[in-house]
Amino acid sequence: MSSLDKAVQTQLDNIQKKTGKTLAELTVMAQQSGLSKHGEIRDMFKRDLGLGHGDANTLVHVVLQSDGERAAEAKGLSISEVVDEIYAGVKAPLRPIHDQLMAAIDQFGPFELVPKKGYVSLRRAKQFAMITPATKTRVEVGLNMKDIEATDRLIAMPKGSMCHFKVNVTEATQVDDELIAWIKYAYEGAG
């Protein structure tokens, strides 16, 4: 079992302790809610069980079996093929930005790449970054890190967002030392 798998299992064990319910009971709760969308079920778990966003989000992925790897398998695709889908069509010109980011991040050490619908989550024990082709001309790099001040380039996100900061990237040359240093700081803080 990888350290990431162990971290998720520990998180699930803690969720079961917090709620006093087994995963099977939590799955039934989701099924009986009549809700089908990830966000709706996540919000129900937050509201009804008092879970934080991260715990509720992970729980929904487990209950719906919708994590990146399982979602890719359900489509009969590899993770890299799901990433290819994210950068298809009008967003295809943004792929070099993604590839340059990943080439730098791959040098940091082990992490999990989890493609979601429309973005890629990068995780260690917890998510440290997101890469999103937000428009046909811009990639957003979401970063989770503390004790950092926002700048004109490092934009603070509203409380409750999936990331603390974002950086807008419109061309591969903007994947520079400053951006990579922020990503590495986030990576180190997520371990």
Token pair in block for residue 135: 């428009």
**C-alpha torsion angle, residues 82, 84, 85, 87 (rounded to 10):** 130
Q: Are residues 17 and 60 in the same domain?
A: yes
Give the residue numbers spanning the domain of 107.
Answer: 79-189
Higher pLDDT, 23 or 156: 156
* Residue 136 domain-assigned (yes or no): yes
H-only helix segments in 75-154: 79-86, 95-105
Residue that finishes a domain, picked among 66, 97, 120 = 66
The secondary element (H helix, E strand) that includes residue 29 is helix 23-32
Q: What is the mean pLDDT of residues 131-155?
A: 95
> Count of domains in the chain?
2
- Give the pLDDT confidence of 153-186 residue by residue, as tens digits: 999 999 878 899 999 999 999 999 999 999 999 9
Residue 57 lies in a domain: yes
Report the predicted TM-score, pTM, of the whole model to 2 decimal places: 0.66
| 73 lies in some domain | no
Q: Which amino acid is it at 38?
A: H
Q: Categorize the per-residue pLDDT at 2 as very low, low, confident or very high, splitting at 50, 70 and 90.
A: very low
